[in-house]
A and B are shown apart, each in its own frame.
Chain A
Amino acid sequence: MNGAHDMGGVHGFGPVVPEVDEPIFHGEWEMRVLAMVLACGAGGRWNIDMSRFARENRPPAEYLSLSYYEVWLAGLERLIAERGKPDRVLRAEEVPAVLARGGPADREPIREAAFAVGDRVVTKNINPVGHTRLPRYARGKVGVIERVHGFHVFPDVNATGAGEDPQWLYAVAFTGEELWGPDGDPRSTVCIDAFEPYLDAVR
């Protein structure tokens, strides 16, 4: 979705203001939100792409007025309301192993990659109302395949519950000028990680 979460290139937010000696959490409640999100995430009712969509899919004014862990809390509340409380309980003794294992997104490739390092590609102009990981600023832009990351779960489909539909994933590099025109930094490039369905070949 073209939501407020898709912030790349938006103006007006002001300077970055790092906090000196920032604590890991700002208040007890942030700890509990983090822990509940991780524990419930291990519960099997939803996947990480559903989680991201539950966080981002809200009115822009609301998204922008909430702090990071408030967005996480709102997302968790929605996931539970829509999909139920976890029925697989993460036990304390399982925590180290579950965190160490993480949630790898790579899958065994079932076809050849369409692109190789150095290929020129153009990103598609898509504007789905659902979840996507192709940011607005990088749509319809010509770039170069910088890396082939592997064959990964496709968030646009996985977020809907229709399966993992894994796809080849690439780092694609764009010049600052391609992304931002004359207002771009000519001595910068931006790489995004783009799934093959986002890309067309440039002849």
Chain B
Amino acid sequence: MTIAVAPAVVVERSVPMAGAVELVLYHPPSAAAVDPGQFFQLAVSAPHTILRRPYSAAWSDPASGRIGFIFNVVGAGSAWLSARHEGHEVDLLGPLGRGFELDGEGPAVCIAGGLGVAVFPGVVQALVARGRKVTMLQGARTAAQLMPASRFAGADVRVATDDGSVGHRGSVMTLFPPPQGEGQGGGVEIFACGPTPMLQASIDAARRQEVPLSSIQVALETPMGCGVGTCLGCAAPQSRGGYLLTCQDGPCVRADRIDWDRMTDEFHG
């Protein structure tokens, strides 16, 4: 796998949903190489920052050489990124890590919390392309913050909002298990991305439905120093003891590989 480190031009900037920004970069090699669930380390030149920022590719289009990133502003780096516009350059390093394994059988249930939804346009597209039945469960504080269902063509999209402004009132987990039996054991596969507490909730819910942990894939979120395996800063506790490196062994891993009791969350909760 070849990792590019190169400046990429911003060819489009938009606001896909309230509180989020979407940057489309033109970089054919990356657009061609990236798998759904992989991430890039984006360089930011904000005051007093030094490290790159990890962002999942939301989607990519090898034909046009474009790759999309969807994010919200939480600090100096994302604020700098959100101020990029058409014609600006963003230096990217990637694609990095492992994406989701999409070639399984049976129906897929995707669970997104918060900006974890950013990874799913590409994931859903790939699952649908493989002829798999896809249910997309998305939660947000309020209707305006939901990613439009049009971003998940071919999937059965179900939504929940904390304020009940649309869909179920409550967390995304109130949508699980979805009707029609998917989620009742048997062959269903779960793909979850969001804050660690939400990942844990998905796992507990799945357990209750007797979905084996090996049928749950999660996208981990840990701090990233290098993104390539040299700093050892992205450790996540393994069920078999010790730690895996989120940037190399992840960010997408099967839930049974993680020791969830030792898993921490620096950024939420």
Interaction A to B: no
* Contact surface of B with A, Cβ cutoff 8 Å: none
* Contact surface of A with B, Cβ cutoff 8 Å: none
